[in-house]
Structure formats: C-alpha cells, structure tokens
Amino acid sequence: LLAISAEKAITLTEKSAKLAMNGSYGARYIGTFIILGVLMFFKIINPVTAVLPLFVPKIAYTVTAFKEKSNF
C-alpha cells in the first residue's frame, strides 16, 4: 500500500502529495489498530507484544533526530 501511495503522489503537486501521503499514513494506522483491536478483543494476541513493535521505529528515529540536533 505504501508503494502504491508513493507512486500516485509523484504525479500530484507538492501540497496534494503531502495531503495524500498523510491521509494514506493515517488510514494505514487506523486499519492496523482496528485489526489489532479485534484480535485483542478476542484475546488472540498479547497487546504489549503486538503494539509495542509498532512504535519502536518511530521512537528510535525521534531519539536519533534529537541526538543529532543536540550539542552534548
């Protein structure tokens, strides 16, 4: 889905492409959390082990960005 969204965004203006990519990002997260919610409701998966890996890359990118900007 990400590749399809990126290919479509190439043909759009910059403003439209940003809007399309943000919308796609949001839709992917909503879909992921709906699926996870259903699986957790029926106790098919462990919530911690299912949700935590979704945020680890974002946390790592954020920490790396702060380290690169800081003067420590």
Is the predicted pLDDT of residue 14 greater than 90, yes or no? yes
The model scores a pTM over 0.75: no
Give the pair of three-digit tokens for residue 63. 């920490």
What's the confidence (pLDDT) of residue 41? 96
The answer to whether the beta carbons of residues 28 and 17 sit under 8 Å apart is no
Helices (H), 1-72: 2-10, 14-41, 47-69
Q: What is the pLDDT of residues 19-70, one digit of tens each?
A: 999 999 899 989 999 999 999 999 999 999 998 998 898 888 889 988 888 6
What confidence score (pLDDT) does residue 3 get? 86
Distance CA 37, CA 45 (A): 10
Check residue 67 and give its pLDDT.
Answer: 87
Query: Residue 57 in contact with residue 50, Cβ under 8 Å?
Result: no
Report the alpha-carbon distance of residue 24 to residue 2 in Å, rounded: 8
